[in-house]
């Protein structure tokens, strides 16, 4: 193969529209390649020159994490308030708010960045590879290492790794909906397409990010990375990701706080103006109330919770593509999963060849099975690359060693697809007449056979009842046939059955028990026979709610299927479209549905589910569609992930409920007192300091224990529940605030400095101690013990709050020392307050339990969601230069991973 000189290399890469109109030989010549591909040295040189085939980076970016922290509406409110305070001359307020900002952003940044680094390390372990011809032999390489001129072999279910020109094709159909929006597949062949045509009409080209729906092909890479059509779209979207249910809940909660803050602040400001208080003082006090009612450290608490969960899952080899997907994992209450590798070991072994006729020997039946293989016979005998699991097991059997590939010449092949569920080949033995051989699911192959022996069905049922996977093999003479089509698959003679075994996992029963204890209903969706799936479930002691077969699913209306799917436990012989339809209907019933799959036929269902789960050994299209990738395919690991997601949500809600109820009560008390008293009940800086101390005590919440019953069912954001909680427990807090006011005014005849110090301490003590009541629905301490960290942090905050009015900073903060009897009264009020809150809690939860949440709205996932997911496969673990097409105005662009997308335009495109 000729080496490229500098001038020739500068012509790379070739515009895809120009490559589409040129003959194959001309395209290969212009790319400096041929049918034997590039040499390894030349591929390395081009990779160094042109950059990786990537449009994303999974490198943890500190600037991106910091930007997400600063984008929080709560922190923006704090920043605006600090600026106004500084502008109005209140340096104390500005400093206190600045400290809050630094604490919140600092904690949030450090935790999220650590989690991103852990995710980066796991992401690098999930590989996406392509079969490339280099140095004249086929080998697997990372898709990000592809360069223009590489010759690539692709089969059904493969995601096209770059923009490519078709060299050879057999029955090739591609799903290009991610680029064109067209749902129908497009036929592809090597014939040049000339003239000005639309992208979807370039039938001689394959486009990055699209999927091979059926058939197989060989293509030469024309454009990679940001120079490919998909790459330009992905770069144009930047790093934006669709929001999860958890993020949408946070947004609704922030809107609720905004409404309450605006309403309360406006009333306070107007009331103080009507009382002829100074405008600036009234404005600062109102701003302090607005800040005080918000849980300022919510971003930090959420980031800390997610980061803690990510580290826990990382130890179990679980890759969560986005941190917030942990919450969606905990939200799941229905899991639809495949059978292979989850309930079974996933190690398929060939056990026997059972002839259907006395004139066929088992060895001959095995030979027919080996011949009906899509991959090259000689390569299949030595390497499992490119083989499906059943074919790989067949070729790995000891009997396959006697197969002589040189004797046979394959004339044509119709690759397996999930509609026909079979593979057919046209083969000549030692130059003799051609023979058509078909191998596939027994039901589909038997439908094409004539003169079926009477005992065949009994033989099949015996194998199915034993839990075996069965592949039928049939053939017929095809002398004179040269081009094989599906219409030729007829009048076959059944040869027999190939028997495979995939044993149930030893720990599958325990894993199912874990999921059942978490309130997750497990359903099996398999392309296998119903009897096989039922046998596996029976061996594992799983009580089945019934089985639905593919034909039964197809015959049902949506309403009928929705009702049947809720009851059924097994969906057998279902097509990819039927799996996705079942998932959509289960979601419409109000459940949060997870789907776990690893095959080509699972991609549609993975996209349709609330949470898509796959494994590292899955096909590319399945890993691409998943939100969570398990590096070990184990339902037990998945159960751990669900518990972690629910624990995070439970601790986040603890902070929200405690923060909003206490803050609302305190700010309501401050608003009322500011109108009734001749002085401000607490200075703006004191309000903010109070909130800072209180929130600091709650930073240990992400590591708090969670009651077992809170993990047994998913929880959802319920703004109505939060509102009811706030309006019940907030006023209870205010009652004791008013009691403190009366105590200070009428018993101790307090001056403003003493009054403010007394309320400051009472507020800190009651707000902090109430954590231990609200954090659980059980009796605190006796039936639900908080973590050591939470106890230590809370008591530390109380001690600091009591100390401040007596510290050297008391004068700067505006506090006067308090008399000793005040603390005796505080102990009594605190005890009464905790008892009253506990009684209110029991009443509240008994009442709230009778108000179930309405079904969640079904979130539709559109093209942007799919593009963002698919772009993740073309990702590198570091910021490396991305080079645009060379031509007029060529120059090196910025690095991937730097802020802001950049568009890339191909010459003439």
Structure tokens at 373: 């293989």
Identify the CA nearest to 700 among candidates 376, 301, 428, 282: 301
Cα separation of 592 and 586, whole Å?
A: 8
The C-alpha atoms of residue 136 and residue 148 are separated, in whole angstroms, by: 16
Q: How far apart are CA 663 and CA 726, in angstroms?
A: 9
Dihedral sign (CA 264, 266, 270, 275): positive
Q: How many residues does the chain have?
A: 909
Q: How deeply is 428 buried, as exposed, middle or buried, from its count of CB atoms within 10 A (0-12, 13-18, 19+)?
A: middle
Contacts of 660 (CB under 8 A, 6+ apart): 257, 293, 295, 722, 725, 726, 730
Report in angstroms the alpha-carbon separations of 80 from 74, 75, 76, 670, 715.
10, 9, 6, 22, 34
**Residue 294, preceding bond cis, omega within 30 degrees?**
no
Contact (Cβ atoms closer than 8 angstroms) between residue 326 and residue 310: yes
Catalytic residue among 333, 338, 598, 602: 338
Query: Largest Cα–Cα distance of the chain, in whole Å?
Result: 114
H/E/C letters for each residue in 274-311?
A: HCCCCHHHHHHHHHHHHHHCCCCCHHHHHHHHHHHHHH
Residue 84: strand, helix, or coil: helix
The CA distance from 594 to 581, in Å, is 14
**What SS3 class is residue 471?**
strand
Instruction: Read off φ and ψ for residue 393, nearest 5 degrees.
Output: -65, -35
For 909, the 3-state DSSP assignment is: coil
Residue 338: active-site member:
yes
Sign (positive or negative) of CA dihedral 191, 197, 198, 201: negative
Q: How do the residues of the chain divide into helix, strand and coil, expressed in percent and rounded to 5? A: 50, 15, 35
Helices (H), 88-150: 91-123
Query: Which residues, in sequence order, are bridge partners of residue 500?
Result: 350, 469
DSSP state, residue 884: P
Kind of pairing between the strands at 547-549 and 211-223: unpaired
How far, in Å, are 497, 541, 547, 583, 594 from residue 464 at the CA level? Answer: 12, 18, 15, 26, 28
Place of tokens 């890469």: 13
The answer for residues whose C-beta is within 8 angstroms of residue 123's C-beta and 6 or more apart is 58, 319, 321, 875, 877
Q: How do strand 593-596 and strand 611-615 relate by DSSP bridges?
A: parallel
What are the φ/ψ torsions at residue 640 (nearest 5 degrees)? -60, -40
Cβ within 8 Å of residue 424, ≥6 positions away: 372, 413, 414, 436, 437, 438, 439, 484, 486, 488, 489
Task: Provide the total of helices (H) and of strands (E) in the chain, helices listed first.
Answer: 34, 25
Cα–Cα distance list, 818 to 502, 674, 754, 755 (Å): 76, 21, 6, 9
Cβ–Cβ under 8 Å, residues 422 and 444: yes
Question: What residues act catalytically?
Answer: 338
């Amino acid at each position: 193969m000729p080496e490229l000189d500098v001038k020739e290399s500068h012509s790379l890469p070739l515009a895809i529209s120009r490559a589409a109109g040129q003959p194959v030989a001309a395209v290969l010549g212009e790319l400096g390649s041929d049918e034997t591909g590039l040499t390894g040295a030349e591929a390395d040189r081009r990779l160094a020159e042109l950059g990786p085939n990537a449009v994303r980076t999974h490198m943890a970016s500190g600037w991106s994490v910091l930007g997400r922290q600063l984008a929080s509406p709560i922190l923006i409110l704090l920043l605006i308030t600090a600026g106004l305070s500084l502008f109005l001359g209140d340096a104390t307020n500005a400093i206190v708010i600045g400290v809050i900002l630094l604490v919140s952003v600092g904690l949030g940044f450090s935790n999220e960045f650590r989690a991103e680094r852990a995710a980066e390390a796991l992401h690098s372990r999930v590989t996406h590879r392509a079969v490339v011809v280099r140095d004249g032999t086929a080998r697997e390489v990372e898709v990000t290492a592809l360069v223009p001129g590489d010759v690539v072999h692709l089969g059904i279910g493969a995601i096209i790794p770059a923009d490519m020109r078709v060299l050879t094709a057999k029955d090739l159909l591609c799903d290009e909906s991610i680029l064109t929006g067209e749902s129908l597949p497009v036929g592809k062949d090597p014939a040049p397409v000339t003239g000005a045509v639309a992208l979807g009409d370039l039938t001689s080209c394959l486009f990055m990010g699209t999927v091979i729906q059926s058939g197989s092909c060989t293509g030469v890479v024309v454009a990679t990375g940001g120079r490919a059509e998909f790459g330009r779209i992905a770069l144009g979207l930047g790093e934006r990701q669709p929001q999860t249910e958890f993020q949408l809940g946070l947004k609704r909660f922030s809107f609720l706080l905004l409404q309450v803050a605006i309403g309360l602040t406006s009333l306070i400001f107007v009331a103080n103006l009507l009382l002829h208080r100074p405008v600036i003082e009234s404005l600062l006090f109102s701003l302090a109330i607005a800040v005080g009612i918000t849980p300022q450290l919510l971003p930090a608490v959420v980031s800390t919770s997610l980061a803690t969960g990510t580290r826990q899952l990382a130890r179990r080899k679980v890759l969560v593509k986005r941190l917030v997907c942990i919450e969606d994992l905990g939200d799941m209450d229905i899991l639809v999963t495949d059978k292979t590798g989850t309930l079974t070991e996933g190690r398929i072994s060939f056990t026997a060849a059972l002839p259907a006729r006395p004139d066929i020997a088992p060895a001959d039946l095995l030979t027919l099975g080996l011949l009906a293989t899509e991959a090259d016979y000689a390569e299949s005998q030595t390497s499992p690359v490119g083989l499906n699991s059943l074919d790989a097991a067949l070729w790995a059997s000891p009997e396959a060693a006697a197969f002589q590939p040189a004797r046979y010449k394959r004339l044509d092949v119709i690759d397996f697809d999930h509609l026909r569920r079979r593979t057919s080949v046209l083969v000549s033995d030692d130059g003799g007449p051609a023979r058509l051989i078909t191998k596939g699911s027994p039901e589909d192959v038997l439908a094409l056979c004539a003169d079926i022996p009477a005992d065949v069905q009994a033989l099949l049922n015996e194998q199915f009842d034993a839990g075996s996977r069965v592949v039928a093999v049939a053939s017929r003479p095809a002398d004179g046939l040269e081009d094989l089509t599906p219409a030729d698959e007829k009048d076959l003679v059944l040869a027999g059955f190939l028997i495979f075994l995939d044993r149930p996992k030893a720990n599958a029963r325990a894993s199912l028990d874990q999921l059942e204890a978490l309130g997750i209903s497990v359903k099996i969706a398999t392309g296998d026979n119903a009897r096989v799936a039922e046998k596996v479930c029976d061996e594992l002691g799983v009580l089945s709610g019934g089985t639905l077969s593919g034909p039964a699913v197809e015959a049902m209306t949506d309403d009928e299927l929705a009702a049947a799917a809720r009851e059924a436990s097994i969906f057998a012989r279902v097509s990819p479209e039927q799996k996705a339809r079942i998932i959509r209907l289960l979601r419409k019933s109000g459940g949060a549905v997870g789907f776990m799959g690893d095959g080509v036929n699972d991609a549609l269902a993975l996209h349709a589910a609330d949470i898509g789960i796959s494994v590292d050994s899955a096909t590319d299209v399945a890993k691409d569609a998943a939100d969570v990738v398990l590096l070990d395919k184990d339902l037990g690991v998945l159960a751990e992930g669900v518990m972690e997601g629910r624990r995070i949500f439970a601790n986040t809600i603890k902070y929200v409920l405690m923060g909003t109820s206490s803050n609302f009560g305190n700010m309501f008390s401050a608003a009322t007192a500011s109108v009734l008293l001749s002085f401000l009940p607490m200075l703006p800086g004191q309000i903010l300091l109070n909130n800072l101390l209180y929130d600091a005590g709650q930073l240990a919440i992400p590591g708090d224990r969670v009651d077992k019953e809170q993990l047994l069912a998913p929880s959802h954001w319920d703004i109505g529940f939060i509102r009811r909680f706030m309006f019940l427990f907030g006023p209870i807090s205010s009652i004791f605030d008013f009691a403190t006011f009366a105590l200070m005014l009428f018993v101790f005849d307090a001056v403003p400095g003493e009054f403010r110090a007394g309320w400051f301490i009472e507020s800190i003590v009651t707000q902090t101690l109430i954590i231990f009541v609200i954090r659980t629905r059980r009796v605190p301490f006796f039936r639900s013990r908080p973590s050591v960290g939470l106890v230590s942090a809370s008591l530390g905050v109380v001690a600091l709050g009591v100390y401040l009015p007596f510290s050297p900073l008391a004068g700067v903060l505006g506090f006067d020392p308090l008399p000793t009897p005040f603390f005796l009264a505080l102990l009594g009020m605190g005890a009464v307050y905790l008892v009253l809150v506990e009684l209110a809690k029991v009443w509240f939860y008994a009442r709230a339990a009778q108000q179930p949440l309405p079904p969640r709205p079904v979130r539709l996932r559109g093209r942007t969601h799919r593009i963002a997911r698919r772009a993740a496969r073309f990702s590198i673990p570091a910021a490396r230069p991305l080079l645009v097409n060379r031509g007029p105005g060529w120059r090196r662009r910025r690095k991937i991973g730097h802020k802001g997308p950049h568009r890339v335009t191909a010459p003439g495109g």
